[in-house]
Structure 1
Amino acid sequence: MGVKIAILAEPDIQQRIFEDSHWRQLADIGEVARNDQPGVPRPEILKRLLEGADYAITSWGCPTLTRDILEVAPELKAVIHAAGTVKGIVTPDLWSRGIRVTSGNGPLGIGVAETALGMTIASLKEMWRLSQDTRNGKWDEGRGRVRELYRVTIGVIGAGKAGAHYIRLLRNFEVTILVYDPVLTAEQAEVMGAVKRGLEEVLRRSDVVSIHAPSIPETHKMFNRERLGWMKDDAILINTARGSIVDEEALADVLREGRLFACLDVTDPEPPAADHPLRGLPNCIITPHLAGAVNNGVKRLGQFAIDELRRMLAGEPLAGEVKEEQMSTLA
């Protein structure tokens, strides 16, 4: 008997992450049972789809897979989450039944890392401010502030999927890469091409600090007034992770002093209030949470799910596997 694959996400989400070539690939692998009901999938729909299923593909909007739902799928071997965090769908029952869980944080991290790199280059080059100057009739008065991505120090906060990919991209440049991540060993950092250091040293030495940490209680307002004060004058702070990691009131005060430059793709909350002080500061760039998979980039998640399924069937290591013991340190 062939493999049964249950697609649990609602049709609108399916359309976002899968294209025609993806459906053909899935059909070549096995029988595909697709959710055809709009809205958050109801338990009875999940049960119908999962009955007899070997694999389930979830995404945004899928509810928690409770014991009651899992009872109908004794042959279920893996849940492949074609989105980021799995915290909204997993229960201990998954792991207790030997069901493997895998997350699309890797493909999402590609877009995040590429955006962080773009912000790194544009900020070092002073593109944001020089563009504004030229719009106001000036030309190259600020040219002396321009820096290249060459022989500067980049600090990376968090070496998960996005942070690790950012480090890989940075290895194309002659730069020093420092990384702060409590769960990363010095040996792992070295293999990645970075040097592990404590948070204070990373902040004091870096010309650019890029945040890729998860939003967990330990990182809430991690970048407070004291730690922002550790950063070098004229350093650049990039946040493509979560807005809650930065104390925005403290950051606004530091930016008003003119010491730092900030690029924020995330705020807390989103969107920020119309009169939020960060909106009006000339040394703060805010983009509307576009660093992750957006529009055509979302299709990476569909291909990821298919590739992960193939790895599972071939007995190969999974690219995005999430273990139960990792849950406390993941976003």
Structure 2
Amino acid sequence: MAPKVLVSDKLSSTAVQIFRDRGIDVDFMPDLGKDKDKLLEVIGQYDGLAIRSATKVTEKILAAADNLKVIGRAGIGVDNVDIPAASKKGVIVMNTPFGNSVTTAEHAIAMMFAVARQLPEASVSTHAGKWEKNRFMGVEVFNKTLGVIGAGNIGGIVCDRALGLKMKVLAYDPFLSDERAQKMGVQKVELDELLTKADFITLHVPLTDKTRNILSREALAKTKKGVRIVNCARGGLIDEDALAEALQSGQVAGAALDVFATEPAKESPLFGLPNVVVTPHLGASTTEAQENVALQVAEQMSDYLLTGAVQNALNMPSVTAEEAAVMGPWVKLAGHLGDFAGQMTDDPIQAINILYDGVVTDMNLQALNCAAIAGIMKAANPDVNMVSAPVIARERGINIATTTQAKSGTFDGYIKLTVVTASRERSLAGTVFSDGKPRFIQIKGINIDAEVGEHMLYTTNKDVPGIIGTLGGTLGKNGVNIANFTLGRTQVGQDAIALCYLDAPLPEAVRSELEATGLFHQVKPLAFSVG
């Protein structure tokens, strides 16, 4: 059955057609997002939800979204999506961070010019029939210093445009390397230096606990007298009351804001001030940007629903379509290893250690980790998946450790998983053969070669004669057919294991009969999803 997607906000018809062209069943209801009750009623039918900002994806909506796998936000901001609730539900949340980057950067540059030359006020005055040529005395941007707070994708474009205007550019960004700054042609500085030297300051950072009020009253007091400030990023980055005071005192000569702490902004201490330019969050509002993000979100959601490729996800490692094709068998293997460990572990898990060897070390290890953790968690929660599993693990205080090593043995690569509880450690390893099929290659330090089957039986015993006969005879007389039988031992007379691939689930009565022989330390039926 084809995946089904709901578009609940206004997306372009071209984006809707992308879903249809990819073979996805899509319902285009652009006003549904505004009707919470109706959305709650229908959301359970859909595998994907494509939105803009009108649809509010709350915990209540997600609780009713039994089939939902992915939410795609056409745009950057996901304030309207409860991401923690989506993660717990196992729903991937994607956005389109690059579709409107140029548009937002251009708006910031336009706002800088507007506040530098007092363009909005001059326009209003001239429309009114006045000719106040001497009233509007602006400043050039040529040869001025622009301080860019946040030199990521949008900030980087602003830097490039500013350099083209022959401005000097200072950049403050904790994640900006010296090499990257040099390549961009900007000077990397600390925030205090930027504040004291910049003639213009523009903000391009997300709103987080660390960036909230990054231009606080104290920060504004450090700025160069007569600075002009532009914010086309997020409301809440500037203390608006403090900015209003700084504008009135002359510490700040002008400000241009596209975003506000509360939106829609019906009132603000900045409104009405003569040296302030304001727009209603127009940063991404161009025909090109709206079309770009709509097309991008449709492609991303289609790729995930059809191929498993994950792009621009906020709660899941990204996996390209090419990676998904190569990694598919290894993702299955990681899941099987986790599933095995989870079914064997009854005590609370304290730590999960994952070792990657050989060729697998070059793959997307975050995604493989998610698959392994999901496999482990499924024993306690069958609804868990690669998105929700890491969240559950963190909530339980489970420590996840990942190590890698160069090829160290017979296999080109393998994954070794160790689960640690208060009383013991349990390790097992697996690889993927050239046929693309995952195999178990080691359990409890004992080497084996076992195909993964839907129904399996794992036994442990002391290495003594008669075990194989008892196991095969008991299963045979009870009509349980063995598709594959693998044995292993540490050394003669010591610990031994058997792993049987069965055609059907092991009946409880047969398991009890095997236990009653007294020959086995463990008799454990296992189930794997091999589809």
> Aligning the two structures, in what range does the TM-score lie when normalised by the shorter sequence?
0.7 to 0.9
**Which residue number corresponds to residue 185 of structure 1?**
177
Give the counterpart letter for 1:48 in structure 2.
Q
Does the alignment pair 1:59 with 2:52?
Answer: yes
Q: Select which of 27, 50, 55 maps to 2:20.
A: 27
| Structure-2 change in CA distance of 1:184 and 1:45 (3 Å) | farther
Q: Select which of 42, 47, 50 maps to 1:45.
A: 42
String of CA shifts for 1:163-195, please: whole Å, max 9, x gaps. 233234334332222222233333344444433
| Structure-2 change in CA distance of 1:170 and 1:4 (3 Å) | farther
Does the alignment pair 1:204 with 2:189?
Answer: no
Separation in structure 2 between the aligned mates of residue 152 and residue 123 of structure 1, nearest angstrom: 14
Percent identity for Structure 1 against Structure 2: 24
TM-score by length of 2: 0.50
Q: Give the Å deviation of 1:232.
A: 1.8
Could you tell which deviates more after superposition, 252-261 or 133-142?
Answer: 133-142
Q: Select which of 193, 217, 221 maps to 1:229.
A: 221
8 A Cα contact 1:82 1:103, kept in partner = yes
Structure 1: gaps of 5 or more residues:
326-331
Could you tell which deviates more after superposition, 133-142 or 237-246?
Answer: 133-142
Does the alignment pair 1:266 with 2:259?
Answer: yes
Q: Give the Å deviation of 1:113.
A: 1.7
**Which residue number corresponds to residue 157 of structure 2?**
165
Q: Select which of 246, 252, 277 maps to 1:254.
A: 246
| Structure-2 change in CA distance of 1:103 and 1:161 (3 Å) | farther
Does the alignment pair 1:72 with 2:64?
Answer: no
Does the alignment pair 1:152 with 2:144?
Answer: yes
| Structure-2 change in CA distance of 1:316 and 1:124 (3 Å) | farther
| Structure-2 change in CA distance of 1:322 and 1:165 (3 Å) | farther
Q: Select which of 69, 75, 83 maps to 1:83.
A: 75
Separation in structure 2 between the aligned mates of residue 192 and residue 100 of structure 1, nearest angstrom: 33
Give the counterpart letter for 2:94 in structure 1.
T
Separation in structure 2 between the aligned mates of residue 119 and residue 270 of structure 1, nearest angstrom: 19
Determine which structure has greater relative contact order: mean sequence separation of CA pairs < 8 Å that are 6+ residues apart, divided by chain length. 1
Structure 2: gaps of 5 or more residues:
318-531
Separation in structure 2 between the aligned mates of residue 45 and residue 35 of structure 1, nearest angstrom: 13
Give the counterpart letter for 1:217 in structure 2.
D
Could you tell which deviates more after superposition, 116-125 or 36-45?
Answer: 36-45
**Which residue number corresponds to residue 328 of structure 1?**
none
Give the counterpart letter for 1:28 in structure 2.
D
8 A Cα contact 2:24 2:302, kept in partner = no
What do you get for the CA RMSD once the two structures are aligned? 3.5
Number of aligned positions between the proteins: 307
Could you tell which deviates more after superposition, 234-243 or 297-306?
Answer: 297-306
Q: Please give the secondary structure, in 2, of the residue aligned with 1:254.
A: helix
Q: Select which of 132, 137, 142 maps to 2:131.
A: 137
| Structure-2 change in CA distance of 1:93 and 1:227 (3 Å) | closer
Separation in structure 1 between the aligned mates of residue 73 and residue 261 of structure 2, nearest angstrom: 25
| Structure-2 change in CA distance of 1:28 and 1:219 (3 Å) | same
Q: Give the Å deviation of 1:118.
A: 0.4
Larger Rg: 2
Give the strand-richer structure, 1 or 2: 2
Q: Select which of 11, 30, 38 maps to 1:17.
A: 11
